[in-house]
Amino acid sequence: MAKQVEKPEWAHVAEAFEARGQTQREFALARGVRLSTLQSWVYRSRRAEATRAEPVRLLPVQVAAAPSAAESVLEVVTASGARVRFAVGTDVGYVARLVAALGR
């Protein structure tokens, strides 16, 4: 039967586990505690440690204005001098076929 360990003592038990090179199962058997309880307290201890880690630092940013209509247009000039404008993001295959047809 597993021995009872009081809640305040569990923080020390979790620290002791972390200091040893044993698996959780080995440690629980050696201490006479339930494996599931040890796992729970080790998890809580690790989670608490992670929240005590260095806080996240946020840096100020400046959002640039949305591109104007002229900046979101791609212009293709063929060898014959024909100019064709496409919205950025237009299918590249379509643009290639159209420019090839204009070049004939």
**Quick check: is 78 in a domain?**
yes
β-pairing, 83-87 vs 73-77, is antiparallel
Write out the H or E segment, with its range, that includes residue 38: helix 35-52
Looking at the fold, whether 45 and 16 belong to one and the same domain comes out as yes
The helix/strand/coil state of 28 is helix
**Quick check: is 63 in a domain?**
no
- Residue numbers of the domain that contains 92: 69-102
Side chain identity, residue 63 = V
Instruction: Answer yes or no: is pLDDT of 61 > 90.
Output: no
| Percentage above 90 pLDDT, the chain | 12
Residue 39: the pLDDT is 92
- Kindly provide the residue ranges of all beta strands, DSSP E only, lying in the chain, ordered along the sequence: 73-77, 83-87
Q: Any residues with CB less than 8 A from the CB of 83 and at least 6 apart, and which? A: 75, 76, 77
- Per-residue pLDDT of 71-91, as tens digits, reads 678 788 777 778 888 888 888
